Structure formats: C-alpha cells, structure tokens
Structure 1
Amino acid sequence: MRSESDSATDQVFKALADDTRRRLLDRLHERSGQTLGQLCEHIDMRRQSVTQHLAVLEAANLVATVRRGREKLHYLNPVPLHDIQERWIDKFERPRLRVLNEVKRRAEEAMADKPTFVYVTYIASTPEGVWDALTDAGLTAAYWGHSNVSDWRPGSRWEHVRTDGSGVADVVGTVVESERPTRLVTTWAAPGEEGQPERHSRVTFEIRPHADIVRLTVVHEDLADEGALAEVSQGWPAVLSNLKSLLETGRTLPQEPWLVPSG
C-alpha cells in the first residue's frame, strides 16, 4: 500500500517534469516573492496557462503564496526538494554534494540583499488551535522552549521569553498585524537592537483552512545576511515540527529537534 509520503513525492516529480514549471521555479529561486505578472514577463505564455502551472506547483507544495494587499506573491518552498534530496541523493553522494551545495548556496546568497525564508506545513488542527499555539505563553513554552508573551494587539510589544525562570527575552518586537485566527505579523529584534529598525526582521504567519486541516505559512523576511538565513532555515522547521506534533498527538517530540545533531 502506497504511503502519503510516496503520493506527495509523485506530485513533486510530476510537477518537475514540465519545462515551464521548472523555469518558474528557476525564476522564484532567482528572486522569491514575485507576482503573477512578474513571472509572466519571463514566460512566453498566456497568463491563464501560467496560472495553471503555478497551481500544479502549489499542489506539490513547491510554491507557497502570500497575500499582500491586492497582490498575491509566490515563494519557492524548498521543503519537498530537500526531502527528495535526503531520500534519493544525499545517501549516495552525501559528503561531496553537501560541500558543493554549500559553496553554491553561499555564492548565491552573497548576491542577495535581505534574504527571505518561507516555510509551509500542514497541521491536523483548526485555525484557532494553530493561532493559540503561536500566541499562548504556556503552549509556546511546551514546544518552543520559550514563552511568547503579548496581548497581541497591533502596536503592542511582544517578547520571546526563556522558560528557565530568568525572565530573559531572547527576541523582542512589535505586533504589526493581528487578525485572529488567520494572520499575525511581528517584527523581530535582539533586545539591544529595539531602537534600530534597520536591523529588525519581520515574521508573517498565514493560517488558512485546507480541507479538514490547516495550512500554515511562515515568511521570515528582511534577514540581515546569509548567516541569519542559515540560522532560521534550521530553526523554523524544528520548531514547527514540534508544534505540529503537539497539536496532532498532544505530545511534543521525544527530544527537542533543535538539539538533535544533523547528520
């Protein structure tokens, strides 16, 4: 019997089999967060046809979309490609390919200003349940190792406070938008950088029903440099996997995933 993982992998391979869809992914790799019009500038094809190709990429979870006012922005979601790499490539050529990939990644990121990280996950919960898991101090303490503390009103301060009893906040910021249970936007800064807005990053949580489950999109933008991007690229998947486990099973993962050495 085929697993859900195999079915998802089939969708990814099917999406990648088309040259137009591969070119769309190339465009988003060059610059993520493009509108349909911007993508159409590089594709000799009618907008309706490009829209259909983007729908296939979204269904395969290779592209994530975020609404900004009246615009719909498209982001490359690297998670399915990473899964395929782990399953089909890394185990055969792991050391050499990782070195080459790191060289390539550093060269590409060095040319980009203010990199953006986008992550999409699907959770068997309700939008309200996911919202509470992101904003309730007790729940965030259970799966994140920190308590997110705020009244979550636009303009209010929020803090990411350690759970060791010290009361120390490792991240502080401002609530920019708060629309329970669908959208939360916050700024992020180190405690000593609150008065330096040019050093703040921005995190957007989009929570949307997806059939009987929830699609959670996390966009972390205005990151300082490639080092910050590398850090959040490891941190967010670990935190959100723990959140997903808590909401779906009532338990966090056996060990905090950010403490497990990558291998």
Structure 2
Amino acid sequence: MELVFKALADPTRRLLLDRLRERNGQTLRELCEHLAMARQSATQHLDVLVRANLVTVVRRGRERLHYLNPAPIHEIEERWISGFDKPRLEALGAIKHQAEEYAMTSVPTYVYVTYIRATADQVWRALTDADLTARYWGHANVSDWQPGSTWEHRRVDGSGAVDVVGKVLVAEPPTRLVITFEDSPGSERDASVVTFLVEPHEDVVRLTVTHENLPNRDMFNGISLGWPAVLSNLKSLLETGDALPQSLWEMAGPKA
C-alpha cells in the first residue's frame, strides 16, 4: 500500500492514470504526446506506477501497451471505504458513472493483474479443470482446451445451464490461454476476447487477465466487478486450499 499511496501522490502520475482511464492500452509515445516533459521523465513516472501495480504492461509484438490495473484501488476500497458509508458512496458513484457514460464513445479494454503463490502448472490447471473452476467460480468451465474447440461456462446448481460459451483461440500450457467470451449466446454481436497470461517467477506467478472487444459499458461495468471476485477466489483456493465464502458474489455484484 505504501507504494500505491506514494505513486498516487504525484500529479503527473495521476494524470497518466487519467489518460489510461480515458483510453486504456496506450504506448509510451501516445502517453507522452501531450505531456510537458521529456520522454525519459515520463518513463520514470510510469515505472513508479508499474512498481505500485497500478499500471501493467502487455507486449503486443514490438509494442508495449500500458493498462490500468484496478487491483490496488480495489484493495484500498475494501480496507478503508467499504466498511463506512458504502451505500451512499455507491449511489454517488452511480450518478457519476452514468454521466461519464454519455460522454464515452468507446469501451476500454479491461486488465487485471494478481500475484499467486503457486506454480504455473497449478494456475493453468485452476483455469482449465472443470472441478476446480466450479469451486472458486461457481461455474464449471468445460472443454478439452484445444485451439478451435468450444468451451462452456456451466452452472453447478444441478440445472446444467450454460451462461457463457466461447471458442479456444490459443492454448499454450501453462503460460497462455486465449478464449472468446459470449455471455449472450446466439446474439449477432462479436464475441469479446479473454487472455490469461501466466508468468512464473521463483515461487510466485503473475497472472494477467485481459478482456477486450467488449460490446458496451454495461458489460465492462459487470466484468469490472466480476473478475476481481473470481481471481481473488482463485488465489485463495491455490494458496490456502479453500475458496472464499460464497457471499463474495453478493459483495461483487454481477459476475464475470
């Protein structure tokens, strides 16, 4: 938390975060276009944000794209805000978000980063094993996880209902999985795309989830609540052997 508050204390770094909030996934050149400072200085500010885990960098070919990571802000909200006057703050936030929505013409890409004390193989299995996903997600993700295969997000309440379907685009165990994500099967809109990037380092894995090609702000808002709940549950299961209480879904609201 000390790194997060230090990073947020500087107005230039807050400006960089605002730029990414307006349009996520920018290169260093794009972020520096309207800053009255040298590229090297902007890089130093971005490095502080990356160390604080407020910004994550995703490589796309030769480009390095910068994305907001909401995890540290989510932790601040849980520790210092949620226990005080959350209903009133949520009401004020809803009014603000509704006003901002009218001004936005595009839906940003969602990126979430978390660190898990586990091996890459354990994280991969947690993402692709139907029984494990049922334990921390409340749905079983069912597929043979081969490129071109379909996958289903099945309820585990005995109904067998499928809430999300998609196709496996890339499967490179245990480090990279890319799937389409259709929460309204049969609709004519293009499917969104989810990428799971598993990066091991010694005893820890950095898991980056990127959800892009979102059709509208409603879905963006929904997954912004859902992914933190899902990934916190996954982290708890791998590190402690137990998922978090089921009330987690009620706290998070709509699920991813």
Fold agreement, TM-score > 0.5: yes
Map Cα deviations across residues 49-69 of structure 1 (whole Å, 9 max, x no partner): 322221110111111222222
In structure 1, what residue type is equivalent to 2:215?
A: A
Conserved? CA contact 1:156–1:174, under 8 Å: yes
Among 139, 142, 145, the alignment partner of 2:132 is: 139
**Offset of 1:215 from its aligned partner?**
1.1
The equivalent of 1:129 in structure 2 is 122
**Offset of 1:88 from its aligned partner?**
4.1
Map Cα deviations across residues 204-262 of structure 1 (whole Å, 9 max, x no partner): 11111245311111112222222212221221111111111110011112335114577
> For 2:86 and 2:245, how far apart are their aligned partners in 1?
27
* Residue ranges of structure 2 left out of the alignment (5+ in a row): none
Map Cα deviations across residues 11-67 of structure 1 (whole Å, 9 max, x no partner): 111111222212211111111111111111122333333222211101111112222
Which is further off, 91-100 or 211-220? 91-100
Seen in structure 2, the aligned counterparts of structure 1 residues 29 and 142 have a Cα distance that, compared at 3 Å, is same
> For 1:34 and 1:149, how far apart are their aligned partners in 2?
34
Conserved? CA contact 1:12–1:80, under 8 Å: yes
> For 1:82 and 1:136, how far apart are their aligned partners in 2?
27
The aligned length equals 252
Equivalent runs, 1:1-263 vs 2, <5 Å: 9-88=1-80, 94-110=86-102, 111-190=104-183, 192-193=185-186, 196=188, 198-260=189-251
Which is further off, 62-71 or 103-112? 103-112
Seen in structure 2, the aligned counterparts of structure 1 residues 174 and 58 have a Cα distance that, compared at 3 Å, is same
**Offset of 1:119 from its aligned partner?**
1.4
- TM-score with structure 1 setting the length: 0.86
Which is further off, 102-111 or 13-22? 102-111
> For 2:241 and 2:83, how far apart are their aligned partners in 1?
33
* Residue ranges of structure 1 left out of the alignment (5+ in a row): 1-8
Conserved? CA contact 2:71–2:228, under 8 Å: no
**Offset of 1:92 from its aligned partner?**
5.8
Percent of aligned positions that are identical: 62
Seen in structure 2, the aligned counterparts of structure 1 residues 204 and 146 have a Cα distance that, compared at 3 Å, is same
> For 1:63 and 1:143, how far apart are their aligned partners in 2?
26
- TM-score with structure 2 setting the length: 0.88
What's the C-alpha RMSD, in Å, of the aligned pairs? 2.2
In structure 1, what residue type is equivalent to 2:182?
A: A
Map Cα deviations across residues 97-144 of structure 1 (whole Å, 9 max, x no partner): 433322222222331423332211111111111111001112111211
In structure 1, what residue type is equivalent to 2:118?
A: S
